Amino acid sequence: MKTFIAPNPAYEDAVRKMLLSMPFVRWLGLSFEHIAPGRVDFIMPNRPEITFDGKAVQAGPIGALLDFAGGAAAFTLAPLGVMLATIDFSVKLLAPAIGDRFLGRGQVLSAGKSLIVARADTFVLGKLEEIHVATGLVTMRALA
């Protein structure tokens, strides 16, 4: 995997502040597990409001987790003061999203001046293994 250098040395603080200022991030209960240049891992707890049937998380919230993971990974590479906005994301479900806690992982694949592309994945954290629940791509655009 490509290695990235963060143009903003205070990228970790910037990512935490930006993401945790978002009401929907707080409502989903996302917490940071890992932050590095081009890479962010979130933990998302399960809760009945985002499930289909009290157990399996719906595609929509899984997509929101992918968007936040990919977007936050991209934001680690934003210069100081530059805001990013999602221009697209895709969600492919690979296995039922059943479990207590989910890992959302964003990994930047390419970072240009105006566009940053990240891969995003969701895993359910089980006692014995991680199961790959969903994958997708997130594209972010720098706002002038």
Q: Which residue has the tokens 């991030």?
A: 25
Q: Which of 31, 55, 110, 126 binds a copy of itself (CB under 8 A)?
A: 110
Q: Which x/- pattern, by CB under 8 A, does the window 42-81 give for a copy of itself?
A: ------xxxxx-----xxxx-xxx-xx--x----------
Query: Which sign does the torsion angle of CA 20, 25, 27, 33 carry?
Result: negative
Distance from chain centroid for Cα 107: 9
Task: Name the minimum Å distance from CB 9 to a copy of itself.
Answer: 25
23 binds a copy of itself (CB under 8 A): yes
Q: Which helix (H) or strand (E) holds 119?
A: strand 115-125
Task: Name the minimum Å distance from CB 48 to a copy of itself.
Answer: 6
Which one, 30 or 35, has the nearer CB to a copy of itself?
Answer: 30
CA distance 105 to 132: 11
Q: Which of 5, 17, 27, 29 binds a copy of itself (CB under 8 A)?
A: 27
86 binds a copy of itself (CB under 8 A): yes
Residue 104 burial by CB count (10 A; 0-12/13-18/19+): exposed, middle or buried? Answer: buried
Task: Name the minimum Å distance from CB 7 to a copy of itself.
Answer: 19
Token pair, residue 93, equals 């479900």
CA distance 123 to 98: 10
Binding site for a copy of itself (CB under 8 A): 2, 22-24, 27, 48-52, 58-61, 63-65, 67-68, 71, 85-95, 109-110, 114-115, 117, 119, 132, 135-137, 139, 141
